[in-house]
């Protein structure tokens, strides 16, 4: 009997993975990895380990979830150490719970190695604390899209009025509806909003505006997935606390100076 490790790879910056997550990559006989996993992390894999891409795009799946579940079970039952490498945290919109249920049904031992999720890390890299004593004492993760064929389940009235900061995953396509629902249930039109694209990576791009104009903001700046939508007064702190883009700019200047031999 082998074993499966459900590992959170973090939000994009390869240095944000945990020490235990790296160990699970190094010990794996086979690694099943997702689209948002930084592929620099695969360099930790031992020679001879099998690497299987399981990435998903909106409306497109390289492998169906049921197939991934079968692969995890099959390889573990064959005595292999399997690392399932997921962007962010495996239990935060990562379908890790579904995979764990499947492993339990087949009697396969497993461990869950948490990872840093984008809902906290992307705002931090954009200079936005999700909680702050002066602005926000409550915080919620929200999915921005529904499971295909299912009716609306989110309780927008509670999210709009009862939570200070909303981190909305996978919501770019549904931004007009998200805006409509939050405004309809009482969120102020002038509420600050940030759209953080490829958070924590060198390709990170952040644009800010208000809830009322967020759909137009996304259209004007051609914002696409993967983007985290952050709604709340804490977004206003970005003007003072933004640090990551400055670091990227400075490193670019240093590289140019070094290349020029100055």
- Find the mean pLDDT for residues 39-65: 86
Q: Which residue intervals of the chain are DSSP H helices?
A: 19-27, 65-77, 96-105, 118-125, 156-162, 175-184, 214-220, 238-241, 244-259
Please tell me which residue in 170, 173, 181, 212 is annotated as part of the active site. 170
- Find the mean pLDDT for residues 39-44: 98
- When computed from its CA atoms, the radius of gyration of the chain, rounded to whole angstroms, is 20
Per-residue confidence (pLDDT) for residue 50, from 0 to 100: 98
Please tell me which residue in 29, 34, 86, 89 is annotated as part of the active site. 34
Per-residue confidence (pLDDT) for residue 57, from 0 to 100: 61
- Find the mean pLDDT for residues 198-227: 96
Per-residue confidence (pLDDT) for residue 61, from 0 to 100: 55
> Active site includes 56?
yes
pLDDT over 90 at 260, yes or no: no
Domains of the chain: 3-116 (3.40.1010.10), 119-245 (3.30.950.10)
pLDDT over 80 at 248, yes or no: no
Of 41, 43, 45, nearest to 16 by C-alpha is 41
> Active site includes 34?
yes
pTM tops 0.95, yes or no: no
Q: Measured in whole angstroms, how far is the alpha carbon of residue 14 from the centre of its chain?
A: 13
> Active site includes 170?
yes
pLDDT over 50 at 256, yes or no: no
Q: How far apart are CA 139 and CA 233, in angstroms?
A: 12
pLDDT digits (tens, 9 = 90+) for 8-31: 999 999 999 999 999 999 999 999
- Find the mean pLDDT for residues 142-169: 84
Per-residue confidence (pLDDT) for residue 257, from 0 to 100: 39
pLDDT over 50 at 255, yes or no: no
């Amino acid at each position: 009997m082998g074993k499966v490790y459900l590992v959170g790879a973090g939000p994009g910056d390869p240095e944000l993975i945990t020490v235990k997550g790296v160990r699970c990559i190094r010990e794996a006989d086979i690694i099943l990895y997702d689209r948002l996993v930084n592929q620099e992390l695969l360099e930790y894999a031992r020679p001879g380990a099998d690497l299987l891409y399981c990435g998903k795009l909106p409306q497109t799946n390289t492998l169906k979830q049921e197939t991934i579940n079968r692969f995890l079970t099959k390889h573990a039952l064959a005595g292999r150490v399997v690392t399932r490498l997921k962007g962010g945290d495996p239990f935060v919109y990562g379908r890790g719970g579904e995979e764990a249920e499947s492993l339990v049904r087949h009697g396969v031992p497993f461990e869950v190695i948490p990872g840093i999720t984008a809902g906290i890390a992307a705002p931090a890299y954009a200079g936005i604390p999700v909680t702050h004593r002066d602005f926000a004492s409550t915080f919620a993760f929200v999915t921005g899209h529904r499971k295909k064929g299912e009716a609306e389940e989110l309780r927008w009235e509670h999210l709009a009025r009862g939570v200070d900061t909303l981190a909305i995953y996978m919501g770019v396509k549904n931004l007009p509806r998200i805006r409509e629902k939050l405004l309809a249930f009482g969120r102020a039109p002038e509420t600050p909003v940030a759209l953080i694209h490829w958070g924590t990576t060198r390709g990170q791009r952040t644009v800010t505006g208000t809830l009322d104009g967020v759909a137009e903001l996304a259209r004007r700046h051609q914002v696409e997935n993967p983007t985290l939508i952050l709604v709340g007064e804490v977004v206003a702190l970005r003007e003072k606390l933004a640090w990551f883009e400055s670091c990227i700019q400075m490193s670019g200047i240093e590289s140019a100076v070094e290349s020029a031999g100055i």
